[in-house]
Amino acid sequence: MTQYDNCSQCSEEVTEDSDFCPHCGVLFAAAERELCEIHRTINATGVCIICRKLVCPQCSKIVHGRTFCLDHKDVEVQQDWATVFESTEINDAELIKSVLEKAQYRVLVQNFGSIGYAWDGGGDSSQSRSNLSRPAKVFVPIPEYLEASKTVEEWQSSASNEGQ
């Protein structure tokens, strides 16, 4: 039986033997002697919730109480989901969604349907495109973000090669 505890920082459930909270990235007491993976002389203060790298205050950013490394500080997260793709072109977002679903990722979407098709045909006018201000977003669970974003990149590069 796995024992659960609650994170002292974000109150989410964590397994009792965890060294860090996967939801907010705070390091628990048992792991407080861990060193930052970049600055090997400085104690780590948290773990990037995207890549699980140990980070110190110099190489991390706290966003809404959650720890990110500098590589992932711009990844948008909502609850336990991370935005892996966003576009004001609903067709692109639909395509990425189906690519990820085919690769067996769990996928959530936002702003699908509420945007797009604002354009009433008749050429590619920049006027109508600028109306699509709320990008459609595709989310995957945070632990699957790195793999999923690789899948998206690979798909995008193979798609652009085919187009040539």
User: Which region among 27-35, 43-51, 77-85, 101-109 touches Zn ion (by CB under 5 A)?
Assistant: 43-51
Question: Is 97 in contact with 109 (CB distance < 8 Å)?
Answer: yes
Dist. CA 88–CA 70, nearest whole Å: 26
* 63 vs 108 by CB, closer to Zn ion: 63
**Tokens found for residue 143:** 């632990």
Eight-class DSSP state of 110: E
Q: According to CB under 5 A, which one of 27, 59, 100, 132 is a site residue for Zn ion?
A: 59
Considering only 47, 54, 56, 140, the residue that binds Zn ion (CB under 5 A) is 56
Minimum CB separation of residue 8 from Zn ion in Å reads 8
Binding flag, residue 69, Zn ion (CB under 5 A): yes
- In the complex with Zn ion, which residue's Cβ is closer, 50 or 132? 50
Q: C-beta of 150: minimal distance to Zn ion in Å?
A: 14
* Pair of tokens at residue 65: 């109480």
With left for phi above 0 and alpha for psi between -120 and 50, is residue 79 left, alpha or beta?
left
